[in-house]
């Protein structure tokens, strides 16, 4: 019996040492499992204690003392080793989670707004600063809103100007934000001063034309509105959008929904009117179409033309962005090339 006790003590010591030599992070778990092998319900030491009943009665007190001493020894040993194991585990964890405070910071890549959104936001900021409110209009239109109500009847030749995407005979993707004018005039009484902006669609594709692009429309209807008001507004807009020396000029044009109609040019923002490649040596760049709202359109919307008059203008947002940023090809906006898009958002830390 005594030999058995001595062997068991030795076994406990060897096994505990072995666990420590393994040096892994689950030391405490391993120690616990080992402890159960000796001190658990069916552990070897527990079994030894149980077998005391088989020991001769005269030897039992002495043997009992040895076994109890071994149990106390084992319990203390495991408690001490558990404390050491906890320290070792913590040391390993600190080592693993050590922070090098001198290491260069890792910057998060930031997203940014698309250049078209940036220009759109800038345009909205400028025009709302002039007292305009934004009117949200639909991208799907009926023939009536996109054409008929804008004085473009079914057989009118101006329909040839806009190759339109029809969904079916009477439903189409709007080819111009001018369609929004009619919705506004149906819903609001003058004075009206609104902007409407968003995607428009035309069957058109080259370096300066895209099948989907963005327009912004302005509409003002009030008493005594004249072409001078339009010119003054667009002058102020050009100076804010580009620089304070930018000039505008009006050239006669034709739109069925405005009379008179004009094309508005900007003094070239790159050569300041001297003549360069971008303005094709003319010193001017065309930026938008505009005019006094045709009386027929006002009448269709039940606005009293004896009392009210109005002007409207419509610009291509891509065109403004191309002029402002000097972009030669409209397709760059839609290719989603991150190297191109990144240039418009100088987020710090971007790599
Ligand atoms: C119109 O769309 C008129 N609705 C503008 C208007 C509004 C006139 C109110 C009078 C009163 P236009 O077709 O010229 O006009 O288009 C206006 C601008 O949209 C152009 O100056 C051009 O910058 C841009 N644009 C036209 N087609 C495309 C296209 N396919 N891709 C990109 N931009 C385009």
**Percent of the chain topping pLDDT 90:** 70
Distance (Å, whole) CA 322 – CA 344: 12
Is the CB of residue 256 below 6 angstroms from any atom belonging to ligand 1? Answer: no
Alpha-carbon span 324 to 335, nearest angstrom? 19
Q: Is 174 in the pocket of ligand 1 (CB under 6 A)?
A: no
For ligand 1, is residue 176 a contact (CB within 6 Å)?
Answer: yes
What confidence tier does 348 reach under pLDDT thresholds 50, 70, 90? Answer: very low
Structure tokens at 218: 């302005």
Probe target for ligand 1 pocket from 132, 162, 319, with the most ligand atoms within 8 Å of CB: 319
Strand partners of residue 261: 253, 291
Is the shortest distance between the CB of 63 and ligand 1 below 6 Å? no
Q: Are 204 and 163 in contact (CB under 8 A)?
A: yes
| Residue 22 banded pLDDT, cuts 50, 70, 90 | confident
For residue range 50-66, what is the model confidence (pLDDT) as tens digits? 888 888 889 888 888 99
pLDDT grade for 278, boundaries at 50, 70 and 90: confident
What integer best gives the mean pLDDT of the chain?
A: 91
Task: Specify the pLDDT at position 334.
Answer: 96
Q: Which of 65-69, 169-173, 181-185 holds the top average pLDDT? A: 181-185
259 pLDDT tier (thresholds 50, 70, 90): very high
DSSP letters for 299-346:
HHTT--TTT-EEEEEEEEHHHHHHHHHT-S-GGGGGS--HHHHHTT--
**Average pLDDT of the segment spanning 198-215:** 94
Q: Are 264 and 227 in contact (CB under 8 A)?
A: no
Question: Ligand 1 center to residue 105 CA distance, Å?
Answer: 47
Half-sphere exposure of 350 (CA within 13 A, CB side): 13
The span from the CA of 47 to the CA of 30, in Å, is 21
d(CA 26, CA 29): 5
């Amino acid at each position: 019996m005594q030999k058995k006790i001595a062997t068991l003590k030795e076994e406990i010591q060897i096994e505990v040492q072995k666990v420590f030599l393994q040096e892994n992070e689950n030391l405490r778990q391993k120690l616990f499992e080992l402890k159960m092998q000796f001190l658990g319900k069916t552990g070897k030491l527990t079994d030894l204690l149980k077998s005391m009943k088989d020991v001769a009665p005269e030897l039992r007190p002495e043997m009992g003392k040895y076994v109890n001493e071994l149990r106390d020894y084992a319990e203390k040993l495991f408690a001490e080793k558990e404390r050491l194991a906890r320290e070792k585990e913590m040391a390993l964890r600190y080592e693993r989670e050590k922070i090098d405070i001198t290491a260069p910071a890792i910057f998060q890549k930031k997203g940014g707004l698309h250049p078209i959104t940036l220009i759109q936001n800038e345009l909205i900021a400028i025009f709302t600063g002039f007292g305009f409110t934004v009117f949200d209009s639909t991208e799907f239109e009926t023939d009536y809103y996109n054409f008929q109500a804008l004085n473009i009847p079914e057989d009118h030749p101006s329909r040839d100007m806009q190759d339109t995407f029809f969904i079916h005979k009477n439903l189409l993707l709007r080819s111009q934000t001018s369609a929004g004018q009619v919705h506004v005039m149906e819903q609001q009484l003058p004075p009206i001063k609104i902007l409407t902006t968003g995607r428009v669609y035309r069957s058109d594709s080259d370096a300066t034309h895209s099948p989907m692009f963005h327009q912004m429309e302005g509409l003002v209807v009030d008493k005594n509105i004249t072409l001078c008001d339009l010119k003054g507004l667009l002058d102020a807009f050009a100076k804010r959008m580009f620089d304070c020396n930018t000039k505008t000029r009006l050239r006669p044009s034709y739109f069925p929904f405005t009379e008179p109609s004009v094309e508005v040019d900007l003094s070239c923002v790159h050569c300041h009117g001297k003549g360069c490649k971008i303005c094709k040596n003319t010193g001017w760049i065309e930026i938008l179409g505009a005019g006094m709202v045709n009386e027929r359109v006002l009448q269709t919307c039940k606005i009293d033309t004896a009392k009210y008059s109005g002007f409207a203008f419509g610009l291509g947002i891509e065109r403004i962005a191309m002029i402002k940023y000097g972009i030669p090809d409209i397709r760059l906006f839609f290719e989603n090339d991150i190297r191109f898009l990144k240039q418009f958002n100088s987020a710090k830390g971007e790599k």
